């Protein structure tokens, strides 16, 4: 079986769980003999290639130009895209911000099968890009400027400089002026990417299309219209998760059109399945739930610390995008209730996003500057080291389709507190759970873990046993069964 897979981030250049999930799933599918052609909006270099053949797409690159091998950084969502349709974290006021950092903690820095082929599509599509941010990225690209050209905007370095005509992605028939190498707005760029994927699909053989999240849905639909091949859409996040009750209507419409046209929909949790049913009115029988997994690689072992060293300072960790969806304001408000009891506690917020500035301000307002550190975006070994330093990891997400970070924390023996409004709470039972809005209860749980180390030790031990059944192999087995059922026209596993 050969799968045309469409995604828009992949390790090591990723800013969320989607890239991690794509890597884990593709490696396990490849191990089962499934051949995959994976198309990305861009290729930065450094992606794991032991289980894949790295190739350029002829329909995409002119004159055989290779993509630049440069680092990237996470792009935060624009403030215009955030909304707060839920009870504010601080009673009676808008939830704003947090403070200056310290040193000592990590800060941001720049033998498998050969069943996977990679096709890079030169594009300005970036992970978690909002329409407003896309316009800024496009302006930088066409003007030849860099990140410093727009104060406060973080743009991955791979798209900061102007791109030569030879290196730019061009779809046959497109104008070749530099300004025309990118769509006039985010949605035009998504459409342009779809044309490139459709052109590529005419040149290769495959049996089924598997598309991850909304930016790839139009491309999947275009391929289905042109080839008649069935499509499976994988929902890792919905616009209603990212923006609450004030979604971008065009993005929500793209999601709805794609989901209704799909031959099968995969949701990463029963929680996400419920959100799809509520907002997009799909039949129950059209959605399969496939939970994410965890890769328990040997290299992780060197970061495990067993019993954490006794130290006066306690560390409470938030790691993720600092956006509405992730609930950073609830983390800050809970911290204000913990510090009076444990004044020597350091709250670490690792990540970037459109709410970061407001979090800094709120921490200052609360007089917590000495108790907070902001590390910026962490990756790889920096993340692993941060987990091992933390006494507890907190994920207070407002709406989390799954949430791989708690699994990564447990894999490093770090106790976790997770939002009940998350998919991972369905599979990680040895974790403390709390409703995201209940900052009083969240503070109580943090205090309990800090006060009684035995609680955290027991959670880590039992959680580690749970991870043994949360393997990507199990997810890949179910996904392959879905492929086969779709191709045979049979009902799929739920």
pLDDT digits (tens, 9 = 90+) for 320-370: 989 999 999 999 999 999 999 999 999 999 998 889 999 999 999 999 999
Q: Is residue 494 part of a domain?
A: no
User: Does one domain contain both 195 and 212?
Assistant: yes
Q: Is the pLDDT of residue 438 over 80?
A: yes
Report how far residue 403's alpha carbon sits from residue 29's, in angstroms, rounded to the nearest whole number.
21
In this predicted model, what pLDDT tens digit does every residue of 14-46 receive, in sequence order? 556 788 888 899 999 999 999 998 888 765 555
User: For residue 15, how many other CB atoms are within 10 A of its CB?
Assistant: 23
Output the domain CATH number for residue 233. 3.40.50.2000
| Region 189-198 average pLDDT | 82
Report how far residue 74's alpha carbon sits from residue 14's, in angstroms, rounded to the nearest whole number.
7
Burial pattern 300-325, b for ≥16 Cβ within 10 A else e, equals beebeeeebeeeeebbbbbbbbbbbb
Which residue did the predictor score with more confidence, 85 or 382? Answer: 382
User: Does one domain contain both 220 and 317?
Assistant: no
Residue 2, judged by CB atoms within 10 A of its CB (0-12, 13-18, 19+), counts as middle
Q: Is residue 97 part of a domain?
A: no
Taking only Cα atoms into account, the Rg of the chain, rounded to an integer number of angstroms, comes to: 22
DSSP string, 46-86: ----TTEEE---TTTBGGGPPPP-----PPPPPGGG----S
User: Does one domain contain both 205 and 328?
Assistant: no
Q: ∠ at Cα 317 (316, 319), nearest 5°?
A: 170
Which residue did the predictor score with more confidence, 255 or 309? Answer: 255
User: Does one domain contain both 24 and 173?
Assistant: yes
Q: Is residue 196 part of a domain?
A: yes
pTM greater than the 0.85 cutoff: no
Distance between the two ends of the chain, CA-based, in angstroms?
21
Q: Quick one: pLDDT at residue 266?
A: 98
| Region 62-87 average pLDDT | 35
The per-residue pLDDT of the chain, averaged, comes to: 76
User: Measuring CA to CA, which residue among 397, 210, 390 is closest to residue 320?
Assistant: 397
Q: Is residue 157 part of a domain?
A: yes
- The residues, ordered by sequence, that sit 6+ positions from 103 with a Cβ below 8 Å of its Cβ are none
Determine which of 43-52, 97-106, 115-124, 135-144 has the lowest per-residue pLDDT on average: 97-106
Q: Give the domain extent around 278.
A: 2-87+109-293+473-488
Q: Is 233 helix (H, G, I), strand (E, B) or coil?
A: strand
Q: Is the pLDDT of residue 265 over 80?
A: yes
317 has which bridge partners?
348, 393
In this predicted model, what pLDDT tens digit does every residue of 458-492 receive, in sequence order? 998 888 888 888 889 999 999 999 999 999 998 88
pLDDT category, 247, cuts 50, 70, 90? confident
User: Does one domain contain both 74 and 214?
Assistant: yes
The strand ranges marked E within 158-260 are: 208-212, 231-235
User: Does one domain contain both 378 and 484?
Assistant: no
pLDDT category, 381, cuts 50, 70, 90? confident
Q: Is residue 400 part of a domain?
A: yes
The structure tokens 């993005």 sit at 251
User: Measuring CA to CA, which residue among 370, 428, 472, 417 is closest to residue 98?
Assistant: 370
Burial pattern 184-222, b for ≥16 Cβ within 10 A else e, equals eebbebbebbbbbbbbbbeeeebbbbbbbbbbbbbbbbb
The structure tokens 């699994």 sit at 407
What percent of the chain shows pLDDT beyond 90?
45
Q: Is the pLDDT of residue 309 over 90?
A: no
Domains held by the chain: number: 2
Report how far residue 254's alpha carbon sits from residue 252's, in angstroms, rounded to the nearest whole number.
5
Q: Is the pLDDT of residue 302 over 60?
A: no
**Can you read off the two tokens belonging to residue 489?**
């026209």
pLDDT category, 232, cuts 50, 70, 90? very high
User: Measuring CA to CA, which residue among 35, 61, 47, 50 is closest to residue 210?
Assistant: 35
């Amino acid at each position: 079986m050969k799968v045309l897979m469409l995604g828009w981030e992949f390790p090591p250049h990723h800013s969320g769980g989607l890239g991690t999930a794509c890597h884990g799933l593709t490696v396990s599918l490849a191990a089962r003999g499934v051949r995959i052609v994976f198309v990305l909006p861009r290729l930065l270099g450094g992606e794991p290639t032991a289980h894949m053949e790295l190739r350029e797409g002829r329909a995409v690159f002119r004159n055989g130009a290779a993509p630049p091998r440069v680092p990237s950084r996470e792009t935060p969502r624009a403030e215009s895209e955030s909304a707060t349709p839920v009870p504010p974290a601080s009673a009676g006021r808008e939830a704003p911000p947090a403070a200056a950092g310290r040193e000592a903690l990590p800060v941001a820095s720049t033998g498998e099968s050969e069943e996977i082929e990679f096709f890079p599509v030169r594009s300005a599509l970036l992970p978690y890009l909002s329409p407003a941010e896309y316009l800024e990225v496009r302006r930088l690209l066409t003007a030849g400027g860099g990140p410093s050209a727009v104060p406060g905007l973080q743009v991955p370095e791979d798209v900061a400089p102007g791109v030569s005509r030879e290196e730019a992605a061009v779809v046959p028939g497109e104008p070749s002026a530099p300004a025309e190498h990118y769509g006039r707005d985010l949605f035009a760029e998504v459409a342009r990417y779809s044309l490139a994927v459709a052109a590529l699909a005419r040149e290769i053989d495959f049996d089924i299309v598997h598309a991850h999240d909304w930016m790839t849905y139009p491309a999947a639909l275009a391929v289905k219209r042109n080839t008649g091949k069935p499509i499976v859409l994988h929902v890792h996040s919905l616009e209603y998760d990212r923006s609450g009750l004030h979604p971008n209507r065009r993005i929500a419409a793209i999601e709805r059109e794609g989901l209704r046209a799909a031959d099968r929909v995969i949701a990463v949790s029963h929680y996400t399945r419920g959100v799809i049913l509520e907002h997009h009115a799909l039949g129950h029988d059209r959605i399969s739930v496939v939970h994410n997994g965890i890769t328990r690689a040997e290299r992780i072992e060197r970061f495990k610390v067993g019993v954490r060293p006794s130290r006066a300072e306690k560390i409470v960790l938030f790691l993720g995008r600092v956006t509405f969806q992730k609930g950073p304001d609830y983390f800050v408000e809970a911290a204000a209730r913990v510090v009076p009891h444990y004044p020597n506690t350091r709250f670490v917020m690792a990540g970037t996003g459109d709410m970061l500035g407001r979090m800094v301000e709120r921490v200052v307002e609360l007089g917590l500057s000495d108790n907070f550190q902001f590390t910026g975006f962490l990756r790889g070994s920096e993340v692993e080291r941060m987990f091992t330093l933390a006494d507890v990891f907190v994920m207070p997400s407002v709406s989390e389709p799954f949430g791989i970070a708690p699994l990564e924390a447990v894999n490093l023996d770090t106790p976790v507190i997770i939002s009940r409004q998350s998919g991972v709470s369905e599979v990680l039972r040895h974790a403390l759970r709390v409703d995201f809005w209940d900052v009083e209860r969240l503070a109580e749980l943090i205090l309990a873990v800090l006060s009684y180390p035995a609680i955290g030790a027991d959670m880590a031990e039992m959680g580690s046993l749970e991870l043994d059944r949360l393997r990507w192999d199990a997810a890949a087995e179910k996904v392959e069964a879905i492929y086969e059922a779709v191709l045979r026209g049979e009902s799929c596993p739920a």
